[in-house]
Amino acid sequence: MENNIPRFISITGVKKSGKTTTIEYLVPLLKKMNLKIGTVKIAFKDVTVDVNEEHYDIERHRKVLPEKSLFKSKIETAFFINTQLSLREALKEFSKGLDLILIEGFPEDLEGIPQIALIKELNQEKELVNDFTVAISSIPEFSIKSSHAKYVDFYDLVNVVQKSALPLFPKLNCLHCGYNDCNLLIKEIIAGNKTVNDCEILEQENARVIVKINDSILPCNNFVQDIFEKVISGLISSLKVEERDLNKAEIKIKFTNNRN
């Protein structure tokens, strides 16, 4: 598996369980490991981002629904994508150029992503632990030591993040791994029964040659990718395009029902 594929892990828990506090603790430690870190907050209700009243014009920009808006001041830069994206689409776009992304949210919103569950009272484990839970912990303020098998001391969570974060799986349910649902494979990886390499499609998203059938990626091994690349390069060479100008080529084939 490519080392440069961004990995994700989430911090979950009930309200006021210390999710943001945990992210504040983890980010500086992970940055010391020369990792490029991103953080994500998933709102639990429909809200919009408040912009300082002094800069209200950016809200006026957004209300006319351009595809994107950019707010730039001398201290920060903020991009607004004025489109409703799925969580996976948003995370894919956000994660470009990052190594590790920490997501703050609630368990039900984060299926398919490894979860660290935070408790603030004993016996909350049952309501928070699911098949995507990689660890249970509690911030020092609550002084809780759970007897659950997945309990990890708060100060050891940085090791859990490093070990348990996973790439964002394609959610194509392509059956190539032997399961009819990507989440089933992810559960098995978290349980230690499978590895990321059991997903044939994951690496294909960053492959040199990507073949899609009805928008679903078709796995191509290196031999097949080499053939495609050589054939297409040969065709393009007849156009006398400089090799340094070659970056991306697309071919679309429309199949008809009356093929022989």
pLDDT for 184: 94
Count CB-CB contacts under 10 A for residue 172.
Answer: 14
Asked whether the predicted pLDDT for residue 3 surpasses 70, the reply is no
Joined tokens for residue 48: 């919009």
pTM over 0.75: yes
Q: Is the pLDDT of residue 233 over 70?
A: yes
Report pLDDT for 177. 84
Q: How far apart are CA 190 and CA 178, in angstroms?
A: 16
pLDDT digits (tens, 9 = 90+) for 18-42: 999 999 999 999 999 999 999 999 9
216-218 and 211-213 beta bridge pairing: antiparallel
Average pLDDT along the chain: 85
pLDDT tens for 71-81 read: 888 888 888 88
More confident site: 58 or 23: 23
List CB contacts of 39: < 8 A, sequence separation 6 or more. Answer: 23, 27, 101, 102, 103, 104
pLDDT band of residue 167 (cuts 50, 70, 90) is very high
Domains and CATH numbers, the chain: 7-47+84-167 (3.40.50.300), 182-245 (no CATH)
